[in-house]
Amino acid sequence: MRCSPLHLRCISVVVFLSVTGTLAADPYIFFDWTVSYLTASPLGTRQQVIGINGQFPGPILNVTTNWNVVMNVKNNLDEPLLLTWNGIQQRKNSWQDGVLGTNCPIPAGWNWTYEFQVKDQIGSFFYFPSTNFQRASGGYGGIIVNNREIIPVPFARPDGDVTLFISDWYTKSHKKLRKDVEGKNGLGPPDGILINGFGPFPYTRELASNAIPFGTINVEPGKTYRFRVHNSGIATSLNFRIQNHNLLLVETEGSYTVQQNYTNMDIHVGQSFSFLVTMDQSGSNDYYIVASPRFVTSVKASGVAILRYSSSQGPALGPLPDPPAELDTFFSMNQARSIRLNLSAGAARPNPQGSFKYGQITVTDVYVIVNGPPEMIEGRLRATLNGISYIPPSTPLKLAQQYNISGVYKLDFPKRPMNRHPRVDTSVINGTFKGFVEIIFQNSDTTVKSYHLDGYAFFVVGMDFGLWTENSRSTYNKGDAVARSTTCILVHGRPSWFLWTMLACGTFE
């Protein structure tokens, strides 16, 4: 979930080598999307879901670096809508990012045209509705930003491209969930896990008695596919795996990684990963694709889809492939630490990713951000960061800034937790223009937290158990940490995990 006080919008401070000989204007691509309710029964119960152009999940936005996207969105829901282009670094029109801090929501029945450039980035991202808890009902879909032809990709062209959404799912509507979250009940455990909007393949007798449609991915023996896997859920970390198949991690949220095989991967809410998967098994039967809940024991069933070779003669066999030990946060942390940037791979530009030496940049500002567990503040259950529960203003921050409207927000977000009563406020970080910021997230709650820094990527330089201290800096990875837009802080009893991140950032707004 988005952390509202951290509406960082950045312009690049990286001086890229310029590409000669490509002076042609960046192309424009036009879309017309209608967002509306559909009826679906992903877990066997008929319910309203949010679709785009009649699809749930929505269509894939498949574009190439530097294209200009002109996206006319019609809101046919019965409430305001904002679509956010998660992980897309809005360098040209930073206010077009579809979050409350920058955009006004599209009123019900209206349409509005987003215009943005997918500038200097590549990789796998996804869009989703950013307000009103609507993501709990869908409205999400994939974003693929392809390399320009002249920029090499650090692996052979895959034989196919598969986008998978894994998510926790509730049979309650997002409107009902919204009320629950603000009331005493809280969110509660999900009713199941979906893969691409489908419920689980009936892998147990109990599920078989109440069979519901499940997802199937058709493949050819011997071929290699790029699986882009997104956790589009609300609250649940998921472990992703494919029976008998290795996941060769190649990219995450726009960073090419050091290529390593994993048998499974913990994917936290909001995160995106690309794996190359080679169909190197006999293929005489189907295989399970599994997304199982992590660190919670209350979810009834895992998400299960089917990988079907064209040569398959029958259903997937045996039990689901083993997950990591249920509550093993050490495993999860070590796995997250093992994800490294391939410094020599070129990303969106010809100069290699490693040429931006983030470890040598002087930090301008340091923020230690501690989340508080939800508590009743002014009549509602609210979570806090450094003792502040953020309230979005009716005037977007960017407009207030642009037109010098005073009283919309306060530039007083504290650099450290304050010893005072929690409060509700529109408190914003007063950042340094073209600064380079270090943010330490410390989790004081008992559940995993996922932080997304909208409109930018940051380097995940370290994470560990316990309390962060100044000495923790000696363990930072200042060489090949991966740059991404979404990271998590796990918990491990108390004191809990903390996560250090260092931001390569331009302006704060």
**List of residues contacting ligand NAG (CB under 6 A):** 60, 62, 64, 72, 111-113, 144, 146, 154, 161, 246, 248, 258-259, 261, 278, 280, 342, 344-345, 403-404, 411, 430
* The amino acid at 421: H
Q: Which is nearer to ligand NAG, 259 or 507 (CB)?
A: 259
Helix (DSSP H) and strand (DSSP E) numbers for the chain = 4, 29
Give the rounded distance of the alpha carbon of 210 from its chain centre: 32
Smallest gap from residue 294 Cβ to ligand NAG (A): 23
Smallest gap from residue 232 Cβ to ligand NAG (A): 17
Smallest gap from residue 252 Cβ to ligand NAG (A): 13
Q: Which is nearer to ligand NAG, 76 or 146 (CB)?
A: 146
Q: Which is nearer to ligand NAG, 162 or 194 (CB)?
A: 162
Q: Is the dihedral of CA 508, 438, 421, 376 positive or negative?
A: positive
Tokens of 355: 């040429």
Smallest gap from residue 412 Cβ to ligand NAG (A): 7
How many whole angstroms separate alpha carbon 72 and alpha carbon 302? Answer: 36
Q: Which is nearer to ligand NAG, 55 or 278 (CB)?
A: 278
Alpha-carbon distances of 411 from 282, 363, 387, 426, rounded to whole Å: 61, 20, 15, 9
Q: Which is nearer to ligand NAG, 25 or 325 (CB)?
A: 25
Q: How many C-beta atoms surround the C-beta of residue 60 within 10 A? A: 16
Smallest gap from residue 506 Cβ to ligand NAG (A): 15
Select from 446, 442, 422, 296 the least CA-distant residue to 373. Answer: 446
Give the rounded distance of the alpha carbon of 325 from its chain centre: 24
Q: Which is nearer to ligand NAG, 60 or 366 (CB)?
A: 60
Q: Which is nearer to ligand NAG, 299 or 428 (CB)?
A: 428
Smallest gap from residue 447 Cβ to ligand NAG (A): 33
Alpha helices in 276-385 (DSSP H): 329-337
Tokens of 276: 């190359």
How many whole angstroms separate alpha carbon 243 and alpha carbon 289? Answer: 6
Smallest gap from residue 74 Cβ to ligand NAG (A): 7
Go through 461-499 and write b for each residue having 16 or more CB atoms within 10 A of its CB, e for each that does not: bbbeeeebeeebbeebbeebbbbbbbbbbbbbeeebbbb
- Position of tokens 């500002």? 365
Smallest gap from residue 144 Cβ to ligand NAG (A): 6
Q: Which is nearer to ligand NAG, 76 or 204 (CB)?
A: 76
Smallest gap from residue 236 Cβ to ligand NAG (A): 26
Which residue number is nearest to ligand NAG in terms of Cβ? Answer: 154
Select from 323, 246, 266, 315 the least CA-distant residue to 287. Answer: 315
Smallest gap from residue 159 Cβ to ligand NAG (A): 11
Alpha-carbon distances of 293 from 225, 274, 358, rounded to whole Å: 25, 20, 34
How many whole angstroms separate alpha carbon 233 and alpha carbon 387? Answer: 26
How many whole angstroms separate alpha carbon 390 and alpha carbon 234? Answer: 19
How many whole angstroms separate alpha carbon 230 and alpha carbon 3? Answer: 19
Q: Which is nearer to ligand NAG, 47 or 281 (CB)?
A: 281
Smallest gap from residue 449 Cβ to ligand NAG (A): 27
Go through 275-306 and write b for each residue having 16 or more CB atoms within 10 A of its CB, e for each that does not: bbbbbebebebbbbbbbbbbbbeebebbbbbb
Q: Which is nearer to ligand NAG, 55 or 72 (CB)?
A: 72
Contact (CB, 8 A) for 455 and 8: yes
Q: Which is nearer to ligand NAG, 404 or 474 (CB)?
A: 404
